[in-house]
Amino acid sequence: MNSFVTSLKILARTAMKSKLIFTCFSLVGIIAVIISACNQNSNSAANKPVVAVDSIWHAPDTSSISGNPDATLIRYGQKLISNTSYYLGPKGTVAQITNGMNCQNCHLQAGTKPFGNNYASVASTYPKFRARSGSIESIYKRVNDCIQRSLNGKAIDSNSKEMQAITAYIKWVGKDVPKKKVPYGSGIKELAYLDRAADTIKGRFVYEQKCLVCHEKNGDGMKDPARTGYLYPPLWGEHSYTAGAGMMRISRLAGYAKFNMPYGTNYPNSQLTDEEAWDVASYINSQPRPTHDISSDWPDISLKPVDHPFGPFIDNFPEAQHKYGPFKPIAEAKKRLKKA
């Protein structure tokens, strides 16, 4: 299958040269379908859904946007999420304030894909207290967090048309979720901790077998020559997410990869064992990337998640263990501390 994917990719490159960008996008689709077909045969028993897949959260039907008084704003918000770079990237048509990635690179299908890091429970849970900033955060603040940390960009004004559009769209995505509820399928699926530390050497092997074909040897992805965005977004290097981003916690990256990568994988299917997901996440996050000033993060360090990779910590576990695990001893020590 790998050689088939490779030849499709060569085809994609050729098509790109002749500016048949559309072909490239459909090729990504075809690759995805092939991969998920292969996947269903090989791996379905190992990944039985915990609940019936039809009881999983699904986004509202986009046809329902028309009935909304804010329809135009919501549709603009959807475009800003799926094609961020076109509007706000290095050659953005509205402003040049982000690194060329799209929100959708990490919030798949514009934040509507079950366990694809979607926005299901943003409207239902915000504003809320977040330990990273130690404050009650609005959706505006949370969106700007991702703009600054994941897109290595500049925050946008909450009154701007763009911020209003992004938040109107995110609220539309979560409009059917009751206040305070987090439906099954929301966000990223949590994976069980391994009993060992994630292994960057094994992770590199997984990367070479299952990710490199699209994200490239140096992890810098592949640009889309016709636009400012990427066909395959960068996983590390100067154009990728910063060290202050959520993806820097390997639990986030492992959970995202397990049910979404290689591209076209859909929950409950997976092409990665849990070990492979943790290991590849550790390899990716051991690579260089832009820094971000996190000096005022976590004013209460006791609230840091166990896999937050930067000290100071409330416990005596070394920074490397907070980055790669094993996490169980840290989680247990945290529980004991809470009880005391």
Total site size for ligand HEC, rule CB under 6 A:
48
- 333 backbone dihedrals φ, ψ, rounded to 5°: -60, -35
Is residue 233 near ligand HEC by the rule CB under 6 A? yes
In the bound state with ligand HEC, the residue whose beta carbon lies nearer, of 65 and 156, is 156
- 304 backbone dihedrals φ, ψ, rounded to 5°: -60, 135
Beta bridge partners of 129: 136
SS3 129: strand
**Binding residue (CB under 6 A) for ligand HEC from 57, 172, 241, 317:** 241
Interacting residues with ligand HEC between 262 and 281 (CB under 6 A): 262-263, 272, 280
Within a 13 Å sphere around the CA of 288, how many CA atoms are in the beta-carbon half? 3
**Binding residue (CB under 6 A) for ligand HEC from 114, 246, 268, 325:** 246
The answer to whether 82 and 116 are in contact (CB under 8 A) is: no
Is residue 164 near ligand HEC by the rule CB under 6 A? no
Is residue 306 near ligand HEC by the rule CB under 6 A? no
Is residue 232 near ligand HEC by the rule CB under 6 A? yes
- 91 backbone dihedrals φ, ψ, rounded to 5°: -120, 35
Is residue 106 near ligand HEC by the rule CB under 6 A? yes
User: Using alpha carbons only, how large is the chain's radius of gyration in Å?
Assistant: 20
d(CA 121, CA 181): 7
Plot region of 318 (φ>0 → left; ψ -120 to 50 → alpha; else → beta): beta
The answer to whether 247 and 253 are in contact (CB under 8 A) is: yes
Is residue 252 near ligand HEC by the rule CB under 6 A? yes
For 72, the token pair is 């135009």
The answer to whether 149 and 88 are in contact (CB under 8 A) is: no
In the bound state with ligand HEC, the residue whose beta carbon lies nearer, of 179 and 339, is 179
Closest CA to 122 of 189, 185, 182: 182
In the bound state with ligand HEC, the residue whose beta carbon lies nearer, of 136 and 318, is 136
Shortest Å distance, C-beta 251 to ligand HEC: 8
Is residue 322 near ligand HEC by the rule CB under 6 A? no
**Binding residue (CB under 6 A) for ligand HEC from 89, 185, 234, 325:** 234
Shortest Å distance, C-beta 195 to ligand HEC: 22
Shortest Å distance, C-beta 124 to ligand HEC: 9
d(CA 19, CA 307): 43
Using CB under 6 A, which of the segments 47-55, 192-200, 213-221, 311-319 binds ligand HEC? Answer: 213-221
- 45 backbone dihedrals φ, ψ, rounded to 5°: -65, -35
Is residue 250 near ligand HEC by the rule CB under 6 A? no
> Could you list the residues that contact ligand HEC (CB under 6 A)?
28, 31, 81, 84, 101-108, 117, 119, 121-122, 142-143, 146-147, 150-151, 166, 170, 187-188, 210-211, 213-215, 232-235, 241, 245-247, 252-253, 256-257, 261-263, 272, 280
